[in-house]
Structure 1
Amino acid sequence: MSADAMSAPLPPPPAYRLSQRMSRMKTSAVREILKIAERPDILSFAGGLPAPELFPVDAIEKAFEETFAREGRPALQYSTTEGFAPLREWIAGHLGRKGQHVHADQVLITSGSQQGLDLVGKILLDPGDLMVVEDPSYLAALQTFGGYEVEFATVRSDDAGMDTDDLAALLKKRVPKLLYVIPNFQNPKGTTLSLERRKALVRLAQEHRFIILEDDPYGELRFRGVHLPSLASLDDQGVVLSLSTFSKTLAPGLRLGWVTGPRPLLKSLTIAKQATDLHTATLAQRATARLLETFDYAGHIQALMPIYAERANAMLAALETHMPKGTKWTRPDGGMFLWVELPQGLDAATLLPRAVEQKVAFVPGAPFFANDQKPQFMRLNYSNRPPDLINEGMKRLGSVISDAL
């Protein structure tokens, strides 16, 4: 090749014609911030990360070793779309002990509960369908459902979760096809749907015939108060689909979640999953099923809770100490997050670069709003840092906010 040819300018990249739905699928603010937060010098409270030092590494390692030793070839083979039967049976039994009585054939194993969100959107949502979400709501759910070109209607929320009176007023005008809610320790706010509102929500869905998608990744992680019944356990008319996961209790790297619900919907979800990935990873399913044969799962969660409670309390105390007047925040009884409202006039997104300069990171709250984005909020994760670093991080963040004022 001649020198002139080597120095010639490259042609412009082709103009790819993407689907229209891609215009509605935004980059995850959390994932982008995590690229910054991975720097070892940054105290990050951005990701929804469980504490890695609490993963039961030895027990999981032993389960994988036993799986290879006893059933290595089947564990590396294709499997059924519905999931490994012993794992589905364990999940059905576990849910039954919590008051949600389902048969194993009503459990579909997914590649994390995030896949469950996508599968539900795939089987239920058409372009232009109305979907109800809390205001604010889980960012990745908004990404997923936005990709199916829905119209979002938002319902107010407060310390008792989704405002069912506001929902009832909305239903007098329009009835959605699907309502999405995180009842326990909501992401991003950390609030919990009250028992009274749980009953009202299920009643409204039964009266108006729309589907509730109950997303419960954090329900096991209660460190204050008493566990409340799931929406699915309150439903006797088949209007609730439920999602959960092992990501927050065992380890997110397993990528194991599940969907439960009425059999006709589970059949459609299974067909949709067949077209998506055939089945969830066989090896992870079999090893987790073997782990749960002997592992004290309930005891493991009980051991997590004092540590998460200590970290939540440390963050609440540090906010009291270091935040300037006018700052407000939620007080979770479990889960991994709390939600901060900045003093009037401040924008969390504009504060983030200044915070990174001070070696601290958070997630600005605006992307968690489906429609009218509110810039004065931020989400903080407390589960991934020990109390001393939480205090130091809130000290840095409080200084950034005070300087902005």
Structure 2
Amino acid sequence: MPPGAPVSAAVLAPPTPALAQRLTGVASSPVRELLALLDRPKVISFAGGLPAPELFDLDGVRAAYDAVLWSPNARRALQYAPTEGDRGLRARVAGRMTARGMFSSVDDLLVTSGSQQALTLLATALVDPGAVVLVEDPTYLAALQCFQLAGARVVPVATDGDGMDPDALEEAIRRERPALVYLVPTFANPTGRTMPTERRAEVVALTERHGVWLVEDDPYGELRYRGHDVAPLAAQPGADGHVVHVGSFSKIAAPGLRLGWLRAPSRLLPALTVAKQAADLHTSTIDQAAAAAWFATADVETHLARLRTAYRRRRDAMVDALPAALPAGSAWTEPDGGMFVWVRLPRGVDTAELLPRALAADVAFVPGAAFYAGVPDRATLRLSFTTHTPERIAEGMTRLGTVLSSC
């Protein structure tokens, strides 16, 4: 270029660095975006699946950290640690899982940075790009994100009031030859449904017969408000060789700890351990030590009973308010536990279009479309009842009813 010649902006502009293609098609979570509403005190949000902060065992957790940091081994709690996790914490978890029918030892478990990391590790170890993952329709939104980010082709399987249909599952397994099947069988997110024992046994048997990994995500299993406990998938006959059970401290202790775990067959654990080493070396040493101390000294069963009592009242307040709040022709679930009620408005209603009007009325929910791997039912929405008192829930449902009155 001759001296003094004009230089175009295109010549001066440097090339733009590219993003990885794996992010293509992985949508942002509307739930995470709606959490910003927590900064607006007037909004009654039924959107986030948040435990009630006033029910956290703050004194017990504070005492647990004090016990760790004032112990002779305090400096060890600030050091690097084994990838598999704190042995004392794994022993506590193994004992609780054994009591629920899943005979477990310390060596069956891997501590993770929240149960979400457990799903990421499983996707890393079991899902190659282009592999098929079968899921309920609808299912947990963050699991969809996780499997999509791994490059999986996520295929929905039909469900009914008892969860995934075994006949539809077997047909999908024969057709798709999946790498794994992912389920939230107890108080499911988003529907609140629970798979009955007979169906659990059938699902475990057919996945075993076809040689398919079965991942059981169970963050809500200890939050039952009525009825009798149902044995986890991992406790069913034939489960030992192919069922992975994923759990979390977020709903029974506090989500800010970011602690979860997975229980996996022995042949799978080495691969998951390597995946975790590559991800973060190990979960926070001090947080694991504090959680172990909390389990050792706190009255965990009394704490859980307190949670169940409070959440039962909140669930009842929401379910009791639904007939007056929803338009004629609506349907909803009445969960036996967990955190969510799933609503379907009359056909033709798009809940995503209703959300701005709801926010203007200072009430929030999650439109249901984001929970579908396939064609979404846009008339659906998810409501979480755990965060607010019964009185606050009643007020929020009144506001929601006003918004929905024109449907």
In the alignment, the residues of structure 2 paired with residue 266 and residue 251 of structure 1 have an alpha-carbon distance, to the nearest angstrom, of 26
Quick one: which amino acid aligns to residue 394 of structure 2? N
Q: Deviations over 1:156-195 (max 9, x none)?
A: 1222111112112223323211000001100000000111
Among candidates 370, 373, 377, match of residue 374 of structure 1: 377
1:30-83 CA-partner distances (Å, limit 9, x unpaired)? 111222343111110000101111100000001101110002211111101000
Query: Distance between the aligned counterparts of 1:290 and 1:237, measured in 2?
Result: 30
1:206–1:237 CA contact under 8 A, matched in 2: no
Counterpart residue type for residue 393 of structure 1 = G
Q: Helix, strand or coil: the match of 1:173?
A: helix
CA displacement at 1:150 relative to structure 2: 1.1
Root mean square deviation, CA, Å? 1.4
Q: Structure 2 CA distance, aligned partners of 1:163 and 1:200? A: 10
| One-letter amino acid of the counterpart of residue 52, structure 1 | P
Where do 5+ consecutive residues of structure 2 fail to align?
A: 1-8
- Equivalents in 2 of 1:293, 1:370: separation in Å? 41
Equivalent residue, structure 2, for 1:24: 25
The Cα shift of 1:236 comes to: 4.3
Q: Which residue of 1 aligns with 2:87?
A: 85
Cα separation, partners in 2 of 1:388 and 1:105, compared to 1, 3 Å: same
User: In 1, Cα distance between the equivalents of 2:385 and 2:239?
Assistant: 37
- Kept in 2, the 8 Å contact 1:243–1:259? The answer is yes
Which AA in structure 2 matches 1:59?
A: G
Aligned partner letter, 1:399: T
Asked if structure 1 preserves the Cα contact closer than 8 Å seen for 2:147 and 2:154, the reply is no
Conserved? CA contact 2:358–2:364, under 8 Å? yes
Helix, strand or coil: the match of 2:181?
strand
2:121 alignment partner, one of 109, 119, 122 = 119
- Structure 2 equivalent of residue 63 of structure 1: 64
Matches within 5 A, 1:223-234: 223-234=225-236
Q: How many residue pairs get matched?
A: 395
Q: Secondary structure at the match of 2:176?
A: coil
1:322: how far off? Answer: 2.1
Q: Which amino acid aligns with 1:281?
A: S
Is it true that 1:198 corresponds to 2:205 in the alignment? no
1:285 paired to 2:288: yes
Q: 1:254: how far off?
A: 0.8
CA distance in 2, matches of 1:243, 1:382: 23
1:138-157 equivalences in 2 (<5 Å): 138-157=140-159
Structure-2 separation of matches of 1:13 and 1:392? 55
1:20 positional shift: 1.3
Is the Cα–Cα contact under 8 Å of residues 208 and 239 in structure 2 kept in the other structure? no
AA aligned opposite 1:178: L
Look up the SS of the partner of 1:72 in the other structure. coil
Query: Quick one: distance in 1 between partners of 2:189 and 2:38?
Result: 19
Q: Residues 1-42 of structure 1: CA distance to partner in whole angstroms, max 9, x if unpaired?
A: xxxxxxx9xx87852311111103211111112223431111
Q: Mind listing any 5+ residue stretches in structure 1 that lack a counterpart?
A: 1-7
Q: Does the 8 Å contact 1:111/1:255 carry over to 2?
A: yes
Deviates more, 1:21-30 or 1:307-316: 21-30
Distance verdict in 2 for CA 1:59–1:21, change over 3 Å = same
Contact 1:37 1:361 in 2 (8 A): no
Does the 8 Å contact 1:24/1:149 carry over to 2? no
* Letter of the 2:201 counterpart: K
Secondary structure (helix, strand or coil) at the match of 2:271 reads helix
Q: Counterparts of 2:27 and 2:39 in 1: how far apart (Å)?
A: 21
- Check the 8 A contact 2:240/2:265 in 1, yes or no: no
Give the TM-score normalised by structure 2. 0.95
- Whether 2:163 is the aligned partner of 1:161: answer yes
CA distance in 2, matches of 1:107, 1:311: 33
Deviates more, 1:61-70 or 1:24-33: 24-33
1:240 aligns with 2:243: yes
**Offset, 1:316:** 0.5
Task: Provide Cα deviations, 1:289-326, integer angstroms capped at 9, x if missing partner.
Answer: 11111212122111211111110010001111222211
Amino acid at match of 1:396: R
In structure 1, C-alpha distance between the alignment counterparts of 2:197 and 2:26, rounded to whole Å: 34
Report SS of the residue matched to 1:83: coil
Q: Report % sequence identity.
A: 46
Give the TM-score normalised by structure 1.
0.95
* Structure 1 residue aligned with 2:211: 209
